[in-house]
Amino acid sequence: MDLTQIKKRSSDAWSRRANWDDVVGDAYDFVIPNRRPGGSGRSPRVSNLLFDMTGPSAAMHFAGNLQRDLFPSGQPTFTLETGPVAKMALPEKQVTAYNRFLEKVAKMIHPFFLAGDWDTAVHETCIDLSVGTGAILPLKGTSNDPIIFASIPIDQIAVLVDMAGRVIYVSWKQSFTYDQIIEAFPKGKFPEGFKEKARSQPSATVELFQDFYQKPGGRRAGWKFIAYVNDSVEPIDQEDYKTQPIAVPRYYRVPGEAMGRGVVLTALPTIKTVNKAQEIALKSAAIQMLGIWGYRSGGTFNPDTVRLGAGEFWAMQSTGGILGPDVQRMDPAGGRMDVSKLLIGNLQDQIREAMLDTRLPEYQGTPKAASEIAARLRQRADVHIGAFGRLVREIMPVIVPRVAEILFDFKHLTQLPMTIDELLVSIKVQSPMAAALNADRLAAIANYIEFVGAVAGPEQTELYVNMDKVLERVGDGLQIDKDLIPDENEKAAIEKKIQGRQNAQLLHMFGAEMAKKAPDMIAQAATQPQVQAA
């Protein structure tokens, strides 16, 4: 595509994105307030309209819970394994050997995810995922620091999807000064007069578009990057990628929509209701404490000059009589603060439930039972499972191939598989959530083995259960490193050691038994000649 087509597609993406601005804007105002204050985000004074902290607090806890469930800090979050097509073409032993090789390749990539940038970028993305959509961009750094992970604010991103809902076009729009753009692209091709504006107007800003799109031909065709401004007649810079350069995960997605929907949008009506209820309750409390006062006009009392406070003296003509005092407190009907407190409390519980904030409440009355605590944690896992498959497919299978491509360019990887395409080589996500899903499957296998032993008998179990495959499946389900499980050669050596220990035990037992019988054998041997002589 030429630059004219790129600009048209970018304009189309931003036109569709504009329909979400009001919805996402409300989510930012009431849940993630002061979005980039002073910048191009939301209003910097929105927090003055907030009277309840349930939504903002639950959003931060949601982000932490989501990161812990899917991408635990300090732990490998993925491994490489043989894809389904390759498994069909290779013998079983070769598949096992190839899995071990791929795991070694994955371990060469893991350190670049444990450096710290990944954890912070994922947590920032999880905050945006609470609204519905996030964005993570692996950037190519230097040879000493090859990978830089950046979380892109979703209000800077517009996306287009194909008929299957997969992201095929990402437009990233930011405002920079002219000299910042020139510094970022020292070899760039700038429009006429661009550098002159950088010298004459150093503080002026211009919108920079950095667009990523999938080349015609599908995922195997690769991706293209193009940077430009509105006045560009040719790209400032462009680059080709073999892999998708940016991940745009969506928490939930409604068919036909490019943007995602998060738990914040689900709870937003209740969040706004609680905020208004808290505001009214505070105003009611202020009225009950300070009261509403009336005065007789035309008298000596001037409300513009008196001060309301302890120890103050007010000039009045009358404090009683037939016409009443010049100043009198007129309180309205007493409000039931306990009713509003009960209403707000129920709505706050609904917000926490919708946003998966399963923190245990403070001790009040009877302590929570262990079964209730376990049920709360299980409920969160069940809700996450609905979005788990999408988040797994839209993050690691995008990030890992791009990171591998960058490391291969820097020569940090020399044994990179040709493609990570989920057919020949696939990515297996390792996380507590994946382990929880695998645990259900492993429990079914254990129940089957127990049932076979009970029906057919323990000695007949091997006729109905392949224990080698079962234990291999258990190791995979529990996310055990393959180098901790012996291969065929190591198993043979271990069997020899076991056989040697068994032989040594038999010899020891035989020697001990012979030692017990030695006195009798010696005595019998000594008396045998005498018996023969007699």
DSSP string, 60-109: HHHHHHHHHHHS-TTS--EEEEE-HHHHHHS-HHHHHHHHHHHHHHHHHH
pLDDT value at residue 334? 56
**Higher confidence at residue 124 or residue 366?**
124
pLDDT value at residue 38? 54
pLDDT value at residue 363? 47
pLDDT in tens, 328-380: 877 665 555 566 676 777 777 878 877 777 665 554 555 555 555 555 555 55
Pairing of strands 327-329, 293-295: antiparallel
Q: Which residue has the tokens 């007069």?
A: 193
Enumerate the β-bridge partners of residue 170: 159, 212
pLDDT value at residue 164? 86
pLDDT value at residue 225? 95
- Phi and psi at 87, nearest 5°, equal -65, -35
CA dihedral 37, 43, 47, 52 (to 10 degrees): -120
Section 450-465 average pLDDT: 83
Question: At what angle are helices 432-456 and 370-394 packed, to 10 degrees?
Answer: 110
| 524 class by beta-carbon count within 10 Å (0-12 exposed, 13-18 middle, 19+ buried) | exposed
Pairing of strands 167-177, 157-161: antiparallel
Section 105-119 average pLDDT: 84
Q: Which residue has the tokens 């069909």?
A: 88
Range of 77-91, 431-445, 464-478 with top mean pLDDT: 77-91
Whether the Cβ atoms of residue 288 and residue 334 lie closer than 8 Å to each other: yes
Q: Which residue has the tokens 């944690």?
A: 377
Section 468-472 average pLDDT: 79
Strand, helix or coil for residue 317: coil
pLDDT in tens, 165-212: 899 999 999 989 999 999 999 899 999 889 898 888 888 889 999 999
- pLDDT category, 275, cuts 50, 70, 90? confident
User: Whole-prediction pTM value?
Assistant: 0.77
Supply 383's token pair: 């809700």
38-42, 68-72, 462-466: which range is least confident on average?
Answer: 38-42
pLDDT in tens, 47-95: 667 888 888 888 998 888 888 888 887 788 888 888 888 888 888 888 8
For residues 478 and 441, give the distance between their C-alpha atoms in angstroms, rounded to a whole number: 11
Q: How far is CA 102 from CA 19, 245, 509, in A?
A: 44, 22, 46
**CA diameter of the chain:** 154
Enumerate the β-bridge partners of residue 82: 425
Whether the Cβ atoms of residue 70 and residue 433 lie closer than 8 Å to each other: yes
Whether the Cβ atoms of residue 242 and residue 405 lie closer than 8 Å to each other: yes
For residues 357 and 25, give the distance between their C-alpha atoms in angstroms, rounded to a whole number: 22
The residue type of 171 is S
For residues 37 and 45, give the distance between their C-alpha atoms in angstroms, rounded to a whole number: 8
The yes-or-no verdict on residue 385 having pLDDT over 70 is no
Question: Among candidates 235, 230, 184, which has minimal Cα distance to 212?
Answer: 235
pLDDT value at residue 521? 63
Rg from Cα positions in the chain: 36
Section 432-455 average pLDDT: 79
Section 521-525 average pLDDT: 65
Supply 78's token pair: 């993925």
The yes-or-no verdict on residue 161 having pLDDT over 80 is yes
pLDDT value at residue 39? 55
Whether the Cβ atoms of residue 210 and residue 161 lie closer than 8 Å to each other: no
pLDDT in tens, 241-267: 988 999 999 998 888 889 999 899 988
Whether the Cβ atoms of residue 190 and residue 227 lie closer than 8 Å to each other: no
Q: Find the angle CA(53)-CA(248)-CA(43) to the nearest 5 degrees.
A: 40
CB atoms within 10 A of CB 310: 4
Write 97-103 long-range contacts (CB < 8 A, 24+): 97/487, 99/482, 100/482, 100/483, 100/487, 101/415, 102/417, 102/425, 103/79, 103/481, 103/482, 103/483
For residues 161 and 4, give the distance between their C-alpha atoms in angstroms, rounded to a whole number: 20
On average, the pLDDT of the chain sits at 81
Strand, helix or coil for residue 366: coil
Enumerate the β-bridge partners of residue 240: 224
Whether the Cβ atoms of residue 228 and residue 236 lie closer than 8 Å to each other: yes
The yes-or-no verdict on residue 221 having pLDDT over 80 is yes
> Which helix (H) or strand (E) segment is 397 a member of?
helix 396-409
Strand, helix or coil for residue 33: coil
Supply 530's token pair: 């005498």
In this prediction, what percent of the chain has a pLDDT beyond 90? 19
